[in-house]
């Protein structure tokens, strides 16, 4: 405790002591208990497919492919209904004892393609999880209900039934309770406070972010896996609950194809992964169940269906995949920001999210990321001396990001998933003028907020980005930037869509209950269901939607 | 630099972090999974990077990073960065590995290097000015492939370098908390 306080500053100590409820910290030598491994030791059925020597067949009532937000949520609900559940996860099992707050290790072990996933033309870098718990194990804990305008848009434009705000409210409430979601009550770190300060000055909307944490230590390393089990990811909540109920978890196994008999899935054919998780070269596993829940997430779920040559009579599979493309601005202050420490996301602004309507020019939500150096070096950009100068200012810098709300306008159709020669998925997401217009306006909004908060200079994350020392000069710079691929630095941490839900089979892959339109015993229960992007960090949208749909499925199956 | 952040997490702790990482790298026994992707095998002690990639990358690090003090303070700084880069590449997908090795190959083969970069001799013999000029040419090229190539080089080298504890002191980052 004392050592941590010395690292993080006295202020952290004084208000963190009021919020640490679940763990008694008795000096540096007491390790945090690894709750998951304790469960395994008590007898949970967990199989490492990478170490299976021979081909194996396993049976269950329900096979759940993927252990992320959708897979975990459905596993708990189905298992609690008395169904025998088998979860299969492509990633490996990493638990709190493995999480060392080490960026490079986390990117290599916990992220899709070692954190090097990107769109086909390289225009957008994609951060997505690949580990037990999926992206929930590595996300930054922000938890928002699906915005009302988004739900209304799905109903009116995408033929989605029964998912209006009133119907969804109890399910969001259930999952908020389940996962400890509450507005972050600890003072925001200085990095987040830039949004608050700037927005206050400009009379822009800002609010505290709700987070799915219990007993959070306010460290800021959510992105490399929570080392204290405070983050209420699927890894420490729903999956343990399902395992307690007798579910089986198979990890380090890629679901390669679904085998069909008529209009039913008869088998999920999987293969064990190699040690670096780059290829499925191990033994074969055949998983048989009465019902299959596909929860591999966007990109991966459509890819599995494509590899399986699943029925797709209207060519909807993989289409309308959305990313909340992110652009950023870097502000330099003459005070310490230390954005690498403290809860990573605690303040947001929706001032420009809906102000031009649901289907007008692209809206965006503004937040900040955690600022650990490896990822930051890429975001800060610059070449040579320019890069070094920016990195030397890391501790006095604030990086702001804008999540652009794609999928609501007819010029925002998103991307489509295809397969590479070896069956790996690839997302082709074209960049167009509608997006560039949003990028330009987001640069302006973020820079304005940073200057209002006292930034001495602001750089847009762009190949030609330079330090502007005044708001006026920044506006000039943004107007003159080249809006083209590879010049504008874009990232994504939210992948959505590709197996869109909706009552019209000519436009959707599943119905409003997540039931595949052509396959009898297949449900898609993950973020690939979304017909558009969400307009907010998507995890709670997946939890709420899947809680509702899985509950319906559980009633039907039991 | 805020003195509240001055390590308790001392230099010894940061070194321990780095040492642990390099131990992990040298004991992980990975088999090369790049069947048919490249005719040249990985260099000794590496999983992905080939002997022909190493002089090229060693020449590029100082140009891309700028005059980072750790480059002169630590004689093995670039060796550590290369090991870190190799570890990261070993965990990416076959597609990314191939794309990266193809890019490095373009830069180390004389026939392609000259026309693409304006550097006709070995990269390791090019001056920092020549290397800087070629990088800027790629960054600002009207060809998307070259702009993407610049971004890839910049991203790979920066991420691997700033993953190393020896790179942090100048940034004001004391390192991660040790739980």
Can you tell me whether residue A51 is helix, strand or coil? Answer: helix
In eight-state DSSP terms, residue B50 is B
**pLDDT(B106) > 90:** yes
Share of chain B above pLDDT 90, in %: 75
**Tell me: the pLDDT tens digits for A263-293?**
999 999 999 999 999 999 999 999 999 999 9
Chain B CB contacts of A105 below 8 Å: 21
The pLDDT value recorded for residue B68 is: 98
Beta bridge partners of A516: A510
**pLDDT(A143) > 60:** yes
State both tokens at A291. Answer: 């019902």
The pLDDT value recorded for residue B39 is: 66
Yes or no: say if A105 and B21 are a contact pair by the CB < 8 Å rule: yes
Q: Given pLDDT bands bounded at 50, 70 and 90, which one contains residue A390?
A: very high
DSSP H or E stretch at residue A459 = strand A457-460
Mean pLDDT of chain B: 83
CA distances to A524, B9, B28 from A553, rounded to whole Å, are 11, 51, 44
Nearest chain A Cα distance for residue B74, angstroms: 17
Yes or no: say if B131 and B123 are a contact pair by the CB < 8 Å rule: yes
CA distances to A141, A464, A551 from A210, rounded to whole Å, are 8, 36, 25
Neighbours of B93 (CB within 10 A): 22
| Dihedral angle sign, alpha carbons of residues A424, A253, A273, B35 | negative
CA distances to A50, A358, A403, A406 from A364, rounded to whole Å, are 42, 11, 5, 9
**pLDDT(A308) > 50:** yes
In this structure, what are the phi and psi dihedrals at residue A224, rounded to the nearest 5 degrees? Answer: -110, 20
- Could you tell me the pTM of the whole model? 0.91
- Show me where the domains of chain B are located: 52-167
Q: Give the E-state strand segments of A89-243 in sequence order.
A: 124-126, 181-183, 207-208, 210-212
Yes or no: say if A495 and A441 are a contact pair by the CB < 8 Å rule: no
Of B87, B139, B159, the CB nearest to A377: B159
In eight-state DSSP terms, residue A144 is -
* CA quadruple B67, A459, A379, A408: dihedral, nearest 10: -170
* CA quadruple A36, A40, A46, A48: dihedral, nearest 10: 80
What does the alpha-carbon distance between residue B86 and residue B51 come to, in Å, rounded to a whole number?
12
Q: Count of H helices and E strands in chain B? A: 8, 0
The pLDDT value recorded for residue A107 is: 98
Can you tell me whether residue A81 is helix, strand or coil? Answer: coil
What does the alpha-carbon distance between residue A377 and residue A370 come to, in Å, rounded to a whole number?
12
Yes or no: say if A158 and A530 are a contact pair by the CB < 8 Å rule: no
What does the alpha-carbon distance between residue B85 and residue B62 come to, in Å, rounded to a whole number?
15
Share of chain A above pLDDT 90, in %: 94
The pLDDT value recorded for residue A28 is: 45
The pLDDT value recorded for residue B179 is: 85
Yes or no: say if B155 and B86 are a contact pair by the CB < 8 Å rule: no
Nearest chain B Cα distance for residue A212, angstroms: 21
Chain A CB contacts of B1 below 8 Å: 336, 395
Chain B CB contacts of A338 below 8 Å: 2, 5, 172
How far, rounded to the nearest angstrom, does the alpha carbon of residue A489 sit from its chain's CA centroid? 19
Q: Which of B179, B175, B132, B122 is nearest to B11 (CA)?
A: B175
What does the alpha-carbon distance between residue B173 and residue A374 come to, in Å, rounded to a whole number?
11
Chain A CB contacts of B140 below 8 Å: 463-464
CA distances to A279, A388, A434, B79, B164 from B71, rounded to whole Å, are 35, 12, 43, 10, 12
| Contact flag B171-A122 (C-beta cutoff 8 Å) | no
Of B31, B136, B176, the CB nearest to A102: B176
Q: Which of A128, A105, A101 is nearest to A116 (CA)?
A: A128
Q: Which of A63, A49, A493 is nearest to A274 (CA)?
A: A49
B98 touches chain A (CB under 8 A): no
Yes or no: say if A354 and A437 are a contact pair by the CB < 8 Å rule: no
Nearest chain A Cα distance for residue B121, angstroms: 22
B11 touches chain A (CB under 8 A): no
**pLDDT(A47) > 60:** yes
In eight-state DSSP terms, residue B166 is G
The pLDDT value recorded for residue A439 is: 98
What does the alpha-carbon distance between residue B6 and residue A7 come to, in Å, rounded to a whole number?
7
The pLDDT value recorded for residue A254 is: 98
Q: Given pLDDT bands bounded at 50, 70 and 90, which one contains residue B17?
A: very low
State both tokens at A427. Answer: 């997302």
Q: Which of A274, A223, A247 is nearest to A90 (CA)?
A: A274
What does the alpha-carbon distance between residue A348 and residue A365 come to, in Å, rounded to a whole number?
7
A273 touches chain B (CB under 8 A): no
- Lowest mean per-residue pLDDT among A134-138, A420-424, B7-11: B7-11
Yes or no: say if A228 and A96 are a contact pair by the CB < 8 Å rule: yes
**pLDDT(A145) > 50:** yes
- Lowest mean per-residue pLDDT among A12-16, A60-64, A493-497, B107-111: A12-16
Mean pLDDT of chain A: 95
Q: Which of A315, A484, A389 is nearest to B68 (CA)?
A: A389
> Residue B98: CB partners within 8 Å, gap ≥ 6?
B34, B37, B38
Q: Given pLDDT bands bounded at 50, 70 and 90, which one contains residue A259?
A: very high
Side-chain-facing half-sphere of B20: CA atoms under 13 Å: 11
What does the alpha-carbon distance between residue A434 and residue A296 come to, in Å, rounded to a whole number?
30
**pLDDT(B174) > 80:** yes
Chain A CB contacts of B176 below 8 Å: 100-102, 221, 372
Nearest chain B Cα distance for residue A17, angstroms: 16
State both tokens at A202. Answer: 């400009």
């Amino acid at each position: 405790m004392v050592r941590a306080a010395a690292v993080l500053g006295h202020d952290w100590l004084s208000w963190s002591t009021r919020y640490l409820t679940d763990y008694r910290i008795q000096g540096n030598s007491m390790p945090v208990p690894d709750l998951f491994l304790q469960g395994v030791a008590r007898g949970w059925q967990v199989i490492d497919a990478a170490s299976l020597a021979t081909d194996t067949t396993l049976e269950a009532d329900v096979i759940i492919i993927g252990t992320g937000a959708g897979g975990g949520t459905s596993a708990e609900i189905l298992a609690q209904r008395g169904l025998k559940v088998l979860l299969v996860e492509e990633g490996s099992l990493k638990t709190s004892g493995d999480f060392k707050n080490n960026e490079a290790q986390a990117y290599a072990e916990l992220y899709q393609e070692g954190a090097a996933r990107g769109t086909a033309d390289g225009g957008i870098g994609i951060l997505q999880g690949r580990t037990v718990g999926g992206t929930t194990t590595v996300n930054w804990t922000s938890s928002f209900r699906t915005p009302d305008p988004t739900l209304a848009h799905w109903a009116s434009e995408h033929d989605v039934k029964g998912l209006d705000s009133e119907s969804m409210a109890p399910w969001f409430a259930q999952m908020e309770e389940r996962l400890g979601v509450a507005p972050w009550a600890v003072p925001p770190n200085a990095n987040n406070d830039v949004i608050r300060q700037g927005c206050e000055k400009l009379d822009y909307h800002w609010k505290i972010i709700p987070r799915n944490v219990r007993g959070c230590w306010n460290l800021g390393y959510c992105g490399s896996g929570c080392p204290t089990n405070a983050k209420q990811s699927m890894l420490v909540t729903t999956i343990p609950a399902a395992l307690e109920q007798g579910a089986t978890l198979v990890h380090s196994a890629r679901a390669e194809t679904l085998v069909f008999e008529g209009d039913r899935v008869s088998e999920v054919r999987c293969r064990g992964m190699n040690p670096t998780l780059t290829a499925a070269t191990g033994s074969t596993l055949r998983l048989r169940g009465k019902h299959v829940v596909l929860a591999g997430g966007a990109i991966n779920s459509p890819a599995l269906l494509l590899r399986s040559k699943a029925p797709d009579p209207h060519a909807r599979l993989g289409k309308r995949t959305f990313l909340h493309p992110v652009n950023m601005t870097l502000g330099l202050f003459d005070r310490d920001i230390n954005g690498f420490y403290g809860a990573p996301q605690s303040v947001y602004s929706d001032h420009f999210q809906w102000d031009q309507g649901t289907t007008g020019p692209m809206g965006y939500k503004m937040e900040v990321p955690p600022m650990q150096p490896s990822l930051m070096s890429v975001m800060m950009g610059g070449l040579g001396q320019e890069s070094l100068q920016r990195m030397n200012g890391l501790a006095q810098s604030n990086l702001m990001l804008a999540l652009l709300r794609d999928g609501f306008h007819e010029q925002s159709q998103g991307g489509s998933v295809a397969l590479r020669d070896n069956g790996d998925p690839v997302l082709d997401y074209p960049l167009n003028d509608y997006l560039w217009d949003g990028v330009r306006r987001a640069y302006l909004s973020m820079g304005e907020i940073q200057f209002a908060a006292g930034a001495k200079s602001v750089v847009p994350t762009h190949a030609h980005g330079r330090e502007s020392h005044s708001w006026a000069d920044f506006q000039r710079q943004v107007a003159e930037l080249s809006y083209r691929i590879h010049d504008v630095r874009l990232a994504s941490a939210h992948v959505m869509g590709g197996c869109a839900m909706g009552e019209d089979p000519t436009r959707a892959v599943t119905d409003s209950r997540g039931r595949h339109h052509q396959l009898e015993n297949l449900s898609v229960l993950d973020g690939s269901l979304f017909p558009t992007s969400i307009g907010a960090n998507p995890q709670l949208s997946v939890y709420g939607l899947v809680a509702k749909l899985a509950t319906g499925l559980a009633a039907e199956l039991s | 630099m805020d003195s509240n952040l001055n390590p308790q997490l001392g230099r010894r702790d940061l070194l321990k972090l780095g040492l642990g990482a390099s131990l992990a790298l040298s004991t992980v026994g990975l088999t090369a999974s790049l069947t048919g992707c490249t005719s040249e095998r990985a260099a000794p002690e590496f999983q992905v990077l080939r002997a022909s990639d190493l002089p090229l990358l060693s020449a590029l690090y100082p140009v891309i990073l700028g005059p980072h003090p750790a480059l002169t303070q630590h004689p093995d700084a670039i060796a550590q960065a290369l090991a870190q880069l190799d570890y990261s590449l070993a965990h990416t997908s076959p597609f990314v590995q191939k794309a990266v090795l193809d890019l490095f190959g373009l830069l180390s083969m004389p026939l392609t290097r000259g026309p693409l970069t304006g550097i006709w001799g070995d990269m390791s013999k090019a001056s920092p000015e020549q290397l800087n000029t070629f990088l800027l040419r790629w960054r600002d090229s009207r060809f998307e492939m070259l702009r993407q190539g610049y971004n890839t080089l910049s991203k790979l080298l920066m991420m691997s370098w700033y993953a190393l504890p020896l790179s942090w002191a100048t940034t004001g980052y004391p390192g991660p908390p040790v739980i």
